[in-house]
Chains A and B, each alone.
Chain A
Amino acid sequence: MIDGKRVLIILPAWNEAEGLPKILREIQQKLPGVDTLVVDDGSTDSTAAVAAACGSRVAQLPYNLGVGGAMRFGYRYAHLHDYDVAIQCDADGQHDPAYVPALLEKLRDEADLVIGARFAGEGSYKVRGPRSWAMKLLSVVLSRVAKTRLTDTTSGFKACNKPMIEFFSHWYPVEYLGDTIESMVGAARCGFVIRQVPVAMRERTTGTPSASPIKATIYLARAGLVLLLALIRRMPANVKAIEPATRAAARRPELIGKV
């Protein structure tokens, strides 16, 4: 519980047995009273056992569904278990749980979906070449769609309020880049308010980011395609019917801070 709200931190994990204990212990220290759910995405190592030993809730997918699939599961879990807030956080340790209160504050005051964004003032994170063009393209288009300045659209560090959880539990794109780009476009198109707060990213404790220019170019092309599809895809009627908390609060101002 934080401020009387049940908060679930969802950590999609694929072969993260090495890095998990550190991040889980850190969350328990910095954010007592918050539940964690490790979604073991078909790992071949002892990810699930390690997570359970650290006292986290664990769900084991029978085979690898990808980050998007693991997150969709996470939101379905949060919705089924009636959580007020769901926070997505990488299991490799690059997201610092100390920023969670900042995310929650923004969520309470003015947004349905809060992105923890690099490049927004804090920390040192440099990218160049086609990958940076892709990120700029995404940032410009998504900022326009969401009607707010978004600098780090592929961040895997974000917080959702209850209606947003319900929305994502019914509609969550699971394909490549769906969990970052398309999910955000879909939420914005259905009237959910997206905001960002600056966060510093840490060095990953495990794994290395790819820096090949060819891969970065392919990434640019795929990101463009995903973006185009996200903008023209039809949203199902049942998810369009979910009312964002920000809209409900705008209708009834006395609800501000309570939804």
Chain B
Amino acid sequence: MQLSVLTSITGVLVLVWILELLRRQQLREKYAALWLAIGVVIAPLGFFPRLLDSTARRLGVASGVSLVLFAGFVLVLLVCVHLSWETSRLEAETRTLAEDVAMMRAHLAEHHDFPIARSGSDVNDPEVKA
């Protein structure tokens, strides 16, 4: 089997998957552009893996396939760092929200007879009414 068969099928599948996720609104818009651009670049490279050979040689890389592998790795690394950054930010936000909820509960308990849950787990349990 030729290399181009494997890569073209993968490229098309990836592009289709990204489009489907976007269509179902599962990806935020800010990521949509990024992933669409990646899909659009990947798909033709799948059909013609040698497309980047001349560019690669000019950059000092032996073959276009290696260049794609290298670029892909750098991209994945950047995406990972970005996701770590996003989760840190989200954690800070949910933490602040949790604190604000506790602040309001404390105020309500003190001034408006709001019930204090018998145990912490009751706070999140709508079944239990203290």
Contact = CB atoms under 8 A, between A and B. Distances in A.
Given A58-B109, A61-B98, A63-B98, A43 B103 contact: no
Interface stretch (B21-29, B42-50, B113-121): B113-121
Interface string B27-40: 00000000000000
Interface residues of A, number: 29
A174 B94 CA distance: 13
A42 B105 CA distance: 14
Contact of B116 (A39, A48, A62, A69): A48
Nearest to B104: A59
A60 B118 contact: no
B118 A59 contact: no
Interface string A41-78: 11111111100100001111111110001001100110
Chain B interface helix/strand/loop/mixed: helix
Interface residues of B, number: 18
Given A57-B110, A60-B105, A63-B124, A43 B99 contact: no
B77 interface: no
A59 B101 CA distance: 9
Given A47-B119, A47-B120, A52-B116, A60 B99 contact: no
B95 interface: yes
Interface in B86-130: 95, 98-99, 101-103, 105-106, 109-110, 116-121, 123-124
Given A57-B110, A65-B98, A49 B124 contact: no
Contacts of A43: 119-120
A72 B102 CA distance: 12
Interface string A74-106: 001100100000000000000000000000000
Given A44-B121, A61-B99, A77-B106, 10 more contacts: A39-B102, A48-B118, A48-B119, A52-B109, A57-B110, A58-B116, A60-B102, A63-B124, A65-B98, A73-B103
Interface of A: 37, 39-49, 52, 57-65, 69, 72-73, 76-77, 80, 174
6 contacts: A46-B118, A60-B106, A60-B116, A61-B98, A61-B99, A80-B103
Sorted nearest first, the 5 A-B pairs with minimum C-beta distance are: A59-B106, A43-B120, A42-B120, A59-B102, A73-B99
